[in-house]
């Protein structure tokens, strides 16, 4: 331990001889470290963020019309009540949440505003988190939940009354059905994109607004399995039992999502590799220059009995010191730039507000730090080799003359 401390102290003193050069090198390493950290967070953050968002309420399986992703189209499946009853009788299933998603309108005086409506069963809901007010009850046929953007658009808050308009007659532009509903609570819809004005009612109310009460149609079913470890097995069994429907486990949806955003992962690999190459070049160049400038000092130390091993160790310690300082600064810089970049990428239309591209985690910081430390140590091998093979006698004669 003492050798490590003394070696680092000697390395810091050596780096202090040329402060400007050292500062510029550390800045370059810090920028490379920040880029590497951001790319590590990006490569793994997309999968984790999407998976965590899907599992926010613990529902591991999605069932939707054949050939569609949940809410990817306006397709619906009929006879949902019977299917829900069958699934709820399955001993491996804890809960089933039927959901109908549809476009509708809110009436403000003589104008209409476009909204997105969710029909849910409050006793088995997997779409929102209550922020203010009270939740709906299963038999609440006059209650409604609003998101923040919907509240602003309708100029309504908890306790106010709003007018929801169902499908419009395209010839006379009048609603086929209008309902007056009381705002029960303000919620955050988990899968909404930024500024999406969404509202929610109990399922029968939304089905009537969408003119689908008789067919009992829903957009998808969310299924919660009692044992998380059994979710893939249950999903595989449901795929066989429901061949006319599309059954997705969270792993399936993450796989589809990864294929759609594969270019982000490729970008992270390319930029991460480039950052490592820049780090190696910076450290190798700086240490090579330092060793060439100090050949006389190194030859003198060798002449008085300092071993090659000691000289090599000191050069490697100098590279390690550069890497440590640059890594610490790079982590701080990387966390700041990740937040800024995440704000830009998540502002793309259609992405859920709860989704993140850059997810800071302890394993991300550890991975980036270890890779940089190993890279910094390896980058010092060539300068250390130059210092070890320096000819003592010729160098001392050149220094004397």
- pLDDT, one tens digit per residue, over 123-154 is 888 888 899 999 999 999 999 999 999 999 99
Distance of CA 83 to the CA centre of its chain: 34
* Model confidence at 26: pLDDT above 90: no
Which residue, 21, 28, 37, is CA-closest to 339?
37
Q: How far is CA 75 from CA 142, 190, 218, 238, 322, in A?
A: 26, 21, 9, 20, 58
For the chain, what is the total number of helices (H) and then of strands (E)?
13, 10
User: What pLDDT was estimated at residue 183?
Assistant: 94
User: What pLDDT was estimated at residue 108?
Assistant: 86
Angle at which helix 308-345 crosses helix 381-388, to 10 degrees, equals 160
* Model confidence at 360: pLDDT above 80: no
Q: Which residue has the higher pLDDT, 298 or 107?
A: 107
What's the mean pLDDT in 290-295? 74
Highest-confidence segment of 13-27, 125-139, 292-306, 379-393: 125-139
User: What pLDDT was estimated at residue 391?
Assistant: 72
DSSP per-residue letters across 123-184: GG--SEEEEEE----TT-SSEEEE-HHHHHHHT--TT-EEEEE--B-TTT--BS-EEEEEEE
Binning pLDDT at 50, 70 and 90, where does residue 54 land? Answer: confident
* Model confidence at 16: pLDDT above 90: no
Backbone angles phi, psi at 338, to 5 degrees: -65, -40
Distance of CA 45 to the CA centre of its chain: 4
User: What pLDDT was estimated at residue 173?
Assistant: 47
Alpha carbon distance 185, 162 (integer Å)? 13
User: What pLDDT was estimated at residue 171?
Assistant: 47
- What is the DSSP code (8-state) at residue 212? -
Alpha carbon distance 393, 399 (integer Å)? 10
Highest-confidence segment of 53-67, 86-100, 309-323: 86-100
What's the mean pLDDT in 43-47? 71
User: What pLDDT was estimated at residue 73?
Assistant: 65
- Give percent of the chain with pLDDT exceeding 70: 86
User: What pLDDT was estimated at residue 172?
Assistant: 44
Mean pLDDT of the chain: 80
SS3 of the chain: helix, strand, coil, percent, to 5: 55, 20, 25
Sign of the dihedral defined by the CA atoms of residues 387, 286, 338, 265, in that order: negative
Residue 355, burial from CB neighbour count under 10 angstroms (0-12, 13-18, 19+) = buried
Domain residue spans in the chain?
Answer: 2-53+260-400, 67-243
- Give percent of the chain with pLDDT exceeding 90: 16
Highest-confidence segment of 38-47, 67-76, 99-108: 99-108
What's the mean pLDDT in 341-352? 73
């Amino acid at each position: 331990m003492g050798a490590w401390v003394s070696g680092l102290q000697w390395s810091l003193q050596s780096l202090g001889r040329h402060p400007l050069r050292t500062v510029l090198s550390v800045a370059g390493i810090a920028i490379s470290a920040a880029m590497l950290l951001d790319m590590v967070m990006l490569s793994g953050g997309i999968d984790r963020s999407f998976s965590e968002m899907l599992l926010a309420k613990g529902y591991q399986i999605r069932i939707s019309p054949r050939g569609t992703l949940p809410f990817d189209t306006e397709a619906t499946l009929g006879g949902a009540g019977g299917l829900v009853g069958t699934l709820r009788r399955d001993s491996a299933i804890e809960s089933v949440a039927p959901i109908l998603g549809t476009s509708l309108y809110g009436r403000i005086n003589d104008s209409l505003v476009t909204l997105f409506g969710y029909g849910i069963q409050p006793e088995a809901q997997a779409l929102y988190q209550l922020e203010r007010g009270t939740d709906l009850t299963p038999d609440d046929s006059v209650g409604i939940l609003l998101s923040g953007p919907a509240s602003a658009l309708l100029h309504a808050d908890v306790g106010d009354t709003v007018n929801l308009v169902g499908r419009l007659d395209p010839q006379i532009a009048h609603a086929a059905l209008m309902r007056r509903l009381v705002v029960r609570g303000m919620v955050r819809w988990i899968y909404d994109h930024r500024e999406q004005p969404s509202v929610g009612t109990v399922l029968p109310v939304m089905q009537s607004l969408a003119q689908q009460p008789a067919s009992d149609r829903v957009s998808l079913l969310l299924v919660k399995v009692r044992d998380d470890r059994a979710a893939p097995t249950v999903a595989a069994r449901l795929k066989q039992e429901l061949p006319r429907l599309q059954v997705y486990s969270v792993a399936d949806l993450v796989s589809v999502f990864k294929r759609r955003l594969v270019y982000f992962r490729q970008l992270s690999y390319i930029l991460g590799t480039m950052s490592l190459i820049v780090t190696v070049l910076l450290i190798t160049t700086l240490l090579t220059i330092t060793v060439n400038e100090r050949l006389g000092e190194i030859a003198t130390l060798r002449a008085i009995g300092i071993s090659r091993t000691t000289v090599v160790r000191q050069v490697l310690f100098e590279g390690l010191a550069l890497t440590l300082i640059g890594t610490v600064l790079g982590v701080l810089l990387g966390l700041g730039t990740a937040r800024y970049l995440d704000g830009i990428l998540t502002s793309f239309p259609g992405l859920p507000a709860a989704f993140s591209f850059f997810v800071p985690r302890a394993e991300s910081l550890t991975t980036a730090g270890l890779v940089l430390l190993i890279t910094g140590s390896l980058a010092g091998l060539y300068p250390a080799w130059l210092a070890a093979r320096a000819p003592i006698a010729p160098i001392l004669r050149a220094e004397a003359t």
